Chains A and B, each alone.
Chain A
Amino acid sequence: MPEPHPHGAGRRWLPRSTEGWLVVVILVFGAFLGLATDTFLTFANIFDLLNISAFNAIMAVGLLVVLVAGGIDISFAVAASVVQYLTAVTVMQLGGGNWAIGLLLASAFGFMLGAINASLIYYFRIISIVVTIATFNIFFGLLMFFTRGRSIYDLPDWLLDRIIVFEFETPGGDFAFLTLPVVVMVAVVAATWLFLNRSSLGRQLYAMGDNAEGARRVGINIAAMHFLAYGWLGVCAGIGGLMQAHYVQEVVPNALYGRELDVLAAVVLGGARLGGGRGTILGALLGVTLVTMTQNGLNLMGVSPYAFQMVVGLVILVAITMSNLEGLEAFLRRFARPRRGQTGGKG
């Protein structure tokens, strides 16, 4: 939900939101990569970026819903692994299944796992980070216990066959194409946007994230909101997990372990507040874009892999600094009017 921001009113040419700053950073960085390489700004590469980031984007908008509601979830990536297994095993029991059944099952299993988190958080009044660190370990532990770490390579054909939705041959003889995960990403993002911005439930979610007690007093059903938020992320994680199994064409138990941090970093980079009540779909997507772009740009520019982590860290730091409005304001103010002692107080 774009909020009017009181800061920065004096400099009209500067963006007034985190999202605005991120757009600036991404455009500048993109222009730089476009000049530094002759491959970055090509249709084929832009389509690649979409294909590669579809999974992270699906997870990111799901996580955004939980962050907006004032919670956090560490368990969703391993929950996605659990969903991959449950879905793969179930469709094979059903004799093969198809995409409709697969997506339905993945969403249902995902919702169930999210609901487990929600009920622990709401009924036992445990803070979300503690609950989801516990369920992170429980989900992963159960998965390793029951699968004995075995991967599934023998998946049904519908899941293995690559689906290209749109393609064209570029003048260079290269193929630019969009795959199924991108379509699913667009659908999930659109649904989440409608939910957060165009439904009263979404408004209630923001209200709860901003002030849970206030929300309760005006009659918002807090329990339902918890199930909605964590269930929504669960569904996104389930669908994302199915997409990952689709594009790597196998189900490996620890393939998604650790991915939660990448997604969390991207969403927070996009301006979502860990305390809840603030964060937009656009911001989350911009965060994912910046992270994916950095990795892609490093490979395209031929930067030594030994320097990768350092550069990724630097880019995140620069982006955060630029988009942290209060921090930037304070910094600029200090430059404009260097003073000793009190720095203007409130106002």
Chain B
Amino acid sequence: MQRRMFGGLAAALAIGLMASTAMAQDMPRMGVVVKIGGIPWFNAMEVGIQEQGKELGWDAWMVGPTSADPALQVRAVEDLIAQGVDAIGVVPNDAEVLEPVLARAREQGIIVITHESPNQENVDWNFEMASLKGFGEAHAKLFAEAVGGEGEYALYVGSLTVPAHNAWADAAVAYLEANHPDMTLVADRFGVAESVDDSRSTALDLMRAHPELKGFLAFGSQGPIGAGRAVDERRKAGEIAVVGPFSPGQGQRLVHDGVISGGFMWNPMEAGRVFVTMADMLKKGEPIEDGTEIPGLGVVSPDAETHNIIVDALVTLNKDTVDELAGMGL
């Protein structure tokens, strides 16, 4: 009885495997290596990648390393090259570390697309759903409003080597220095915003060290959450502002409790779709040039020299929008 059941199971598995490999052979394949697996942001991106893959007839999947380690990304890209995929997408942890392996991918005729890495070498295209300056300044404006344009503040980034986070932080600091000279940074930026625990304990320490602290500006998806938890613990909601991009489902409660003032984001699900859409266009040899319309990005004006396609497709996060976005599973 048991043996028969196992036999049946094995047969079913074998048929299933054959079916899936047969299908996969006809389809172009794409792997997208993200910064780290298992966090809501990239879970949403994975949904976009898979949905658009189905839509356009690609076998597209996401690879999420277990920690935000550049070396793990290099290994993941190497694996994809060995598998002979048609296209590779990367959301880099460290642009430079990836350069050699991406060069190897392109030598083998693999399409390489990156996201959130505007200075990336060895890519077909890098796309941004927010310009670095636009995104940094949008947050800086909102933050200045939230703290009333004066006082001490602290700045988080995902890690000290994430190119995009640091560029946003640079733009935000530049904007605040120019427009709100009474706002002062209490220390160099903290590279803690990929971890809720680190963001929280750093925020607790900083509130202790700087009793006059007026706010946390946090770039990196876990930063506003961790800082928000700490502000909530100290019962400083309303006195200390928290601003930054975060995943709506995760931050929903903190926004409604008035701990997180708000932030901006782009839709990672949409970014996942764009990866596959662009790979499909490049695979078919469709030109991407000034005035080309790319679904999800709109009409673009790409910079052929730096391989950048930059648009500002910002979504506002606040009390009014967060529930709807969270409902989308973000």
Contacts and interface: CB of A to CB of B under 8 A. Distances in A.
Interface stretch (B1-9, B206-214, B268-276): B206-214
A345 to B, nearest CB: 47
Contacts of A39: 208-209
Interface in B41-100: 42-43, 46, 64, 66-67
Given A254-B39, A254-B66, A304-B188, A296 B205 contact: yes
Contacts of B234: 175
A346 to B, nearest CB: 45
B233 A257 contact: no
A105 B141 CA distance: 47
B266 interface: no
A252 B196 contact: yes
Contacts, number: 93
Interface string A249-285: 1101111011000000000000000000000000000
Given A37-B209, A302-B187, A162 B250 contact: no
Q: What bracket does the count of chain B residues touching chain A fall in?
A: 35 or more
A302 B160 contact: no
Nearest to A300: B209
A96 to B, nearest CB: 18
B186 interface: yes
Interface in A143-176: 144, 147-151, 153, 162, 172, 174-175
Interface string B182-219: 00001111111001110011101110110100000000
A258 B202 CA distance: 18
A305 interface: yes
A343 interface: no
A335 interface: no
Given A299-B206, A305-B189, A244 B197 contact: yes
Q: What bracket does the count of chain A residues touching chain B fall in?
A: 35 or more
A71 to B, nearest CB: 24
Interface string A336-347: 000000000000
A208 B235 CA distance: 49
B40 A151 contact: yes
B43 A150 contact: yes
A258 B226 CA distance: 18
Given A254-B38, A299-B205, A302-B186, A162 B197 contact: no
A151 B250 contact: yes
Contacts of A174: 211
Interface string A162-200: 100000000010110000000000000000000000000
A347 B143 CA distance: 68
B229 interface: yes
B250 A250 contact: yes
A108 B38 CA distance: 26
B36 interface: yes
A21 B37 CA distance: 42
Q: Which residue, of B37, B208, B249, B250, has the highest number of chain A Cβ atoms within 10 A?
A: B208
B225 to A, nearest CB: 8
A252 B188 contact: no
Given A149-B43, A299-B209, A305-B187, A162 B233 contact: yes
A302 B191 CA distance: 14
A248 B43 contact: no
B235 A252 contact: no
B277 interface: no
Interface of A: 37, 39, 42, 44-45, 48, 51-52, 140, 144, 147-151, 153, 162, 172, 174-175, 244, 247-250, 252-255, 257-258, 295-296, 299-302, 304-306
Interface of B: 36-40, 42-43, 46, 64, 66-67, 160, 186-192, 195-197, 200-202, 204-206, 208-209, 211, 226, 229, 233-235, 249-250, 252-253
Q: Please provide the 7 A-B residue pairs with the shortest distance between their CB atoms, ordered closest to farther.
A: A299-B205, A149-B38, A254-B38, A300-B209, A304-B188, A253-B38, A305-B190
7 contacts: A39-B209, A48-B204, A51-B204, A147-B38, A149-B42, A151-B250, A306-B160
Given A144-B38, A151-B40, A305-B192, 9 more contacts: A52-B204, A150-B43, A175-B234, A248-B229, A252-B39, A253-B38, A254-B36, A254-B37, A299-B205
